[in-house]
Chain A
Amino acid sequence: MMWYKFFAESMESTMRKLLSLMLLACLVSLGACSHKPPKDTGTAAAATQVPATGAQTNGAAGNSALGAGAGAVTGTDDVAGPQEGILAQRNIYFAFDSSELSPEGTTLIAAHAHYLIGHSNLHVRLEGNTDERGSREYNIGLGERRAQAVRRAMLLQGVAETQLSTVSYGAERPAVEGHDEAAWSKNRRVTINYVQ
């Protein structure tokens, strides 16, 4: 872990400047709303959302966006990310109604954390998911708790806060169709999604 920190700190200054610019651009594009606690946000948060909302909604309403198929699902900000060895694995699995990390999950998180420390220009979106059982909005809360558990583990490993974001899809985006434990066990997951 320390080795990666040392590596990050000893990067060439040009690289650091480039990263600062990228980070700045990222923050600007995300808008102030993305990092405010709920109480501070009101119309400003809504307003910054608008251009994107308008564009996407109009697209979603028309047939063209629907024709885009899987491309529209994964979104334009997703990138392939590392594919070597364990890093090709992106899913951390959970027990029912639990956000406790398994030993396998912890190992996978550590591998991605080390990679992210060495590539501080990269960001990941931690997508929390649940199986279909129970109620949908409670599952949104449970998926978020799982994503936050992975986020905390990555922060403990030394990943920068700015490299991580979370979203919960609850039971809304299953990886596998089906209404039994075989499907459910694959759907209770946090997916590590590399983004621009």
Chain B
Amino acid sequence: MMNSDLRRCSAWCAALLCVLTVPQRTWAQLKIEITSGVTDPIPVAVVPFASSGGADNGVDVAQIIQNDLAGSGRFKTMARSAMTATPSRAQDVQIASWKAAGNDYVVVGRVTPLAAGQVAVDFELLNVLTGQQLANPRFTGTPAALRDAAHRCSDVIYEKVLGIRGAFATRIAYVSVDGAPPAQRYQLVVADADGANARVILESHQPVMSPAWSPDGQWLAYVSFENKRASIYVQQVSSGERRLVSGRVGINGAPAWSPDGRKLLVTLGGSAGTPNLYILDLSTQQLTRLTEGPSIDTEGAWSPDGQSVYFTSDRSGGPQIYRQGIQPGAKPQRLTFGSSYNARPRLSPDGTQLVMVTQDGANYRIAVQDLASGTVRILSHGRLDASPSFAPNGAMIIYAGIEGGHSVLQRVSVDGQTSQRLRADSADVREPVWAPFTRPQG
């Protein structure tokens, strides 16, 4: 649906477009470190998977699953060195011995070759306490898709055990910056949710900022200063094809896709330099103005039903968050009061909570506000935390913070109980955005 709209848009606007293919290579690989976990993580043993005839292509599927589960902060995984057997099928598992080793769950599985170069990943999740088998799905694909298959196994385990849909087989995008001013290099990177498979999709000596995923997870909108002024582009992640969608005078910023993927909420400054919110229809290029006045109105986000928007405005003196319907004549309603600086709202997938940057004393931190009650909880502990983004399952938030003089990505669960750091090799990594689910549940 969205692809056809965008194709129409491309035919419609003669704004043509270069295909930008940055050669596939990895960069600024991220590594997850747990900074805090729940006090009683669920013990699970992920037994190394069997591989028939080298079907796994050297990919350690069980290790990826183990890293996912441990990295979530909600599981404690059994060390391989402590395992006395390595069964790969449910019927070969001696339940009593795994129970005696303190596990609640055991995961066993195998990778087998199929016809035409395809491979299958099968696994069983066993509840050690009841002896019950909870899942045995099969994932098939090319050997290149084995990491993804492993993350899908993790998603199933997470959901069966915790009752929350897993978000391991998803992607993130972020901005990576290296070099000292004024010779900095900016990169827009797409990676798996665990930081693996990092791929640079745009590289520039001028700032790149504000990446935003399309609802189908196929496109990114972002702001690039490559022409020495801000312009908004949309780029298909798989092909690199991209289009300039707003290169107007002044600020072109803060793109956010509507839930139906047909429109972008954007900030335009015009020649007077007063940032206001507009809805840009991607197929007709028509602009609808939402806000007026000399205040800074920016950082728009859609409600999940697409009927209202949330944004930052300093109309009251300092930045605060407002909600406004998109119908003509709608008036903004202020939502935040507890701090002199509340900015950059993002909505939870179910639309019940917003996450934002809030000033907390001398620090800038990530806070979640319950929209029904107005209750605010501060989730992060850094000095300069910024750019929060919800995971598509609503359970985690990814954001950027300064540590050791560098900007690093951090994740925190919405209940504040678990957090992890995604450390890059060297560059400053910032503005993480978690992609939506691209597969139906189950």
Task: Name A residues whose Cβ lies closer than 8 Å to a Cβ of B.
Answer: 33-39, 41-43, 45-50, 52-54, 56-58, 60-61, 65-66, 68-70, 72-75, 77, 97, 125, 132-138, 140-142, 144-145, 147-148, 151, 166-170, 172-177, 179
Does B46 make an interface contact (CB < 8 A)? no
In whole Å, how far is B280's beta carbon from the nearest beta carbon of chain A?
A: 9
B230 touches A168 (CB 8 A): yes
**Residues of B1-33 contacting chain A, CB below 8 A:** 12-18, 20-22
Q: Known contacts A167-B228, A179-B402; is A97 also within 8 Å of B318 by CB?
A: yes
Instruction: Give the secondary structure class of B's interface.
Output: loop
Q: Known contacts A42-B287, A43-B12, A148-B273; is A141 also within 8 Å of B18 by CB?
A: no
B273 touches A144 (CB 8 A): yes
A137 touches B244 (CB 8 A): no
Q: Which A residues are in CB contact (< 8 Å) with B210?
A: 136-137
A137 touches B254 (CB 8 A): yes
Does B54 make an interface contact (CB < 8 A)? no
A54 touches B287 (CB 8 A): no
Task: Name B residues whose Cβ lies closer than 8 Å to a Cβ of A.
Answer: 12-18, 20-22, 180-185, 202-207, 209-210, 225-231, 242-251, 253-254, 267-273, 275, 278, 285-287, 289, 296, 298-299, 312, 314, 318-319, 341, 343-344, 357, 359, 364, 383-384, 386-387, 402, 405, 431
Cα–Cα, bound, A57→B251 (Å): 20
The 8 Å CB contact of B16, one of A50, A70, A133, is A50
A179 touches B244 (CB 8 A): no
Cα–Cα, bound, A75→B228 (Å): 8
Cα–Cα, bound, A123→B140 (Å): 61
Cα–Cα, bound, A60→B200 (Å): 12
B272 touches A148 (CB 8 A): yes
In whole Å, how far is A151's beta carbon from the nearest beta carbon of chain B?
A: 8
Q: Which A residues are in CB contact (< 8 Å) with B387?
A: 135-136
Q: Which A residues are in CB contact (< 8 Å) with B245?
A: 46
A-B contact sample (13 more), CB < 8 A, given A135-B299, A135-B344: A37-B270, A47-B15, A53-B226, A74-B182, A132-B384, A133-B364, A135-B312, A145-B273, A166-B250, A168-B251, A173-B182, A176-B181, A179-B402
In whole Å, how far is B207's beta carbon from the nearest beta carbon of chain A?
A: 4
B299 touches A138 (CB 8 A): yes
A73 touches B184 (CB 8 A): yes
Q: Which B residues are in CB contact (< 8 Å) with A36?
A: 248-249
Cα–Cα, bound, A65→B248 (Å): 25
The 8 Å CB contact of B203, one of A34, A60, A97, A168, is A60
Cα–Cα, bound, A52→B228 (Å): 11
Cα–Cα, bound, A31→B267 (Å): 22
B227 touches A49 (CB 8 A): yes
A141 touches B287 (CB 8 A): no
Q: Which A residues are in CB contact (< 8 Å) with B203?
A: 60-61, 66
B384 touches A179 (CB 8 A): yes
Cα–Cα, bound, A110→B205 (Å): 32
B13 touches A179 (CB 8 A): no
In whole Å, how far is B427's beta carbon from the nearest beta carbon of chain A?
A: 13
In whole Å, how far is A74's beta carbon from the nearest beta carbon of chain B?
A: 7
A133 touches B298 (CB 8 A): no
Q: Please, could you name 5 A-B residue pairs with CB atoms under 8 Å apart, sorted by A?
A: A42-B13, A46-B243, A57-B226, A136-B431, A137-B312
Cα–Cα, bound, A132→B231 (Å): 21
B15 touches A140 (CB 8 A): no
Cα–Cα, bound, A188→B247 (Å): 25
A144 touches B251 (CB 8 A): yes
Cα–Cα, bound, A136→B247 (Å): 19
Q: Which A residues are in CB contact (< 8 Å) with B226?
A: 53, 56-57, 60
The 8 Å CB contact of B20, one of A58, A148, A169, is A58
Query: Which 8 A-B pairs rank lowest in CB-CB distance, beginning with the nearest?
Result: A141-B296, A172-B207, A46-B15, A135-B344, A148-B273, A42-B285, A135-B343, A54-B18
A60 touches B204 (CB 8 A): yes
Q: Known contacts A36-B249, A46-B244, A74-B182; is A169 also within 8 Å of B364 by CB?
A: no
Interface centre among A36, A61, A73, A170 (most CB of B within 10 A): A61
Q: Which A residues are in CB contact (< 8 Å) with B285?
A: 42-43, 46
Cα–Cα, bound, A34→B206 (Å): 20
Q: Which A residues are in CB contact (< 8 Å) with B230?
A: 140, 167-168
B287 touches A49 (CB 8 A): no
The 8 Å CB contact of B205, one of A47, A73, A97, A175, is A73
Q: Which A residues are in CB contact (< 8 Å) with B246?
A: 45-46
